[in-house]
Amino acid sequence: MNQSIVTLASGKLRGFSRSGVAAFLGIPYAASPVHERRFAAPQPPPAWPGIRDASSAGPAMPQGPSRLELVMGERHPDWAEDGSLTLNVWTPSQALSDDSPRAVLLWFHGGGFSSGSGGWDWYHGAHLAELGNMVVVTANYRLGPLGYLWLPEIGAENLGSQDQAAALNWVVENIGYFGGDPKKITVGGQSAGAFSSFQLAAQPASRGMIKRVIVQSSPWGLEPQDPELAASHARKYLGLLGVEERANPAAQLRQLPVERLLVGYAELARAVAGPGSVAPPMYPVAGGPGTAQNWRQTVDSGLLDGIDILLGSTRHEMTAFFAFNPQIQGLDQAAGRAFLESIYGEKAVELYRQHETRLPQAKPAEIVTAVQTEQVFQRGAVELAHRHTERGNRSYLYQWDYLPEPDPASLGATHCGELPFLFGNFDSFQDSPMLGEVPERRTALWQSFGGALANFVSRGVPGGDPEWLPYNARTRNEPQHFS
């Protein structure tokens, strides 16, 4: 392992090189969101003297346990507010010295806007950077109440989304020091990170910064949060914390220990959760900073014209949320139909019937899971590809079909299941039931899926064998399947 040093306007960084890839971790892209900067828009990071060590990722954002631990595996983050607004860069070692700038992927993690970290080993970008001969960047952003409490009167407006925009600005300004091409930036992410990437690309302030977008398993059935609902949740949250809304709530919130903020958030989540809901109590609010009103309107208004999009979903997305939920697993036919009716109204009967016909041996829980997979994730991905393509743009659509072996929880091709095959970090998923235990299949599938997405970042076309063709709005061709 060799040391690598780069010099930015804010100071020098010492990273390390291994196997042809240089890594620079824990780089501040914004000032620590502490004290008066808690619940405030991100501010530029201060410069540092000497050489800053960039050999390890910064702390994760403060957060509670992930609801997907049973699918992805447990993580017990060493979280802290101080020093948490950081990003990580992996770049081919040669890119630091040659004159051939590489394409760049800025990738945001998922976690329901409540958990996750760009610095976790799941998302280390060395293998992907090597596979694609490109620069990979992952970033933290504020989560839960610290990122998505809706109190515009104190400046708390989609702060996590504002962090993501700040990370993009940092990449545009600094990625050239790492051998990246600021004119060839793809923004991507999975789940909440996919939702975020789409919204970030649609912002007028991002125009000209983003060339392509990768959208993995975005919950299209989940619209940006209604401002009135967000305000209602904020009031309930303040009440749970004992914060007086009329008596300078900003000062009170900034004085509370972050642990109390997290406990209050967990209490709020339990209080407002609907049966089987995938929506967190706080997430990007429609019309607020960094978030448009509606993804259909966003596409139809041309805000993404000129930007190539690669997007898709997994075959069994909702098993990640429902497989371990006793309320869902205990549904009988009448309760299953009633559950869907509470979401879809009169459409529920037909939706249940359609999926019951397609899955004649399925239990009610499996039918409900299939309906929600289609309605929350799959249907919107196809519709977006169609709308975007009809406007003269290129869209590439995929479906993840890999089935883990063994699969005792019957997860199938579940939400998050493609992540090991994007980053190639299989050793980091050893406690993850979504991966299975068939190592001989992994490398080829990683090279196929990860390689296709890397080609899209670098060249704008995923390639593949068979060749991955753009979505055709006239023929409505099948997505590219990966199994």
- Cα distance between residue 87 and residue 209, in whole Å: 18
- Each residue of 393-437: pLDDT tens digit? 999 999 999 999 999 999 999 999 999 999 999 999 998 999 988
**pLDDT score recorded for residue 437:** 84
- Domains annotated for the chain, with CATH where assigned, are 2-312 (3.40.50.1820)
For residue 246, the model assigns a pLDDT of: 83
Is 206 annotated as catalytic?
no
Q: List the one residue out of 176, 167, 101, 96 whose CA is nearest residue 138.
A: 167
Residue 278 confidence class, pLDDT cut points 50, 70, 90: confident
pTM for the predicted model, two decimal places: 0.97
pLDDT value for 263: 98
β-pairing, 212-216 with 135-139? unpaired
In the three-class reduction of DSSP (H, G, I as helix; E, B as strand; rest coil), residue 383 is classed as helix
Secondary structure in 3-state letters for 44-84: CCCCCCCEEECCCCCCECCCCCCCCHHHHCCCCCCECCCCC
Residue 83 and residue 113 in contact, taking contact as beta carbons nearer than 8 Å: no
Contact criterion met (CB below 8 Å) for 438 and 450: no
Q: Is 317 a catalytic residue?
A: yes
Cβ 124 vs Cβ 68: under 8 Å: no
Measuring CA to CA, how many Å separate 81 from each of 23, 53, 146, 278, 326?
23, 19, 9, 26, 35
Evaluate whether 212 touches 309 at the Cβ level (below 8 Å): yes
More confident residue, 1 or 57: 57
What is the amino acid identity at position 372? Q
What pLDDT, in 10s, does the model give residues 128-172?
999 999 999 999 999 999 999 999 999 999 999 999 999 999 999
User: What is the helix (H) or strand (E) element at residue 22, kind and residue range?
Assistant: strand 21-28
pLDDT of residue 33: 98
Among candidate residues 81, 157, 317, 374, the one labeled active-site is: 317
As a whole number of Å, the end-to-end CA separation of the chain is 35
In the predicted structure, residue 245 carries a pLDDT above the cut 90:
no
As given in the structure block, the two tokens for residue 100 are 């051939």
Token pair listed for 313: 């979903």
Torsion (CA) 344, 348, 351, 355 in degrees, nearest 10: 120
Reference 139, options 308, 24, 236, 234; nearest CA is 24
Task: Select which of 161, 191, 395, 458 is catalytic.
Answer: 191
163, HSE (Cβ side, Cα atoms, 13 Å):
32
* Residue environment code for 316-348, b if the CB has 16+ CB neighbours within 10 A, otherwise e: bbbbbbbbbbeebeebeeebbbebbeebbeeeb
CA distances from 374 to 217, 245, 324 (A): 11, 41, 19
Active-site choice (415, 418, 432, 458): 415
CA atoms within 13 A on the CB side of 291: 26
pLDDT band at 460 (very low <50, low <70, confident <90, very high): very high
pLDDT of residue 328: 95
- Phi, psi at 411, each rounded to 5°: -75, -35
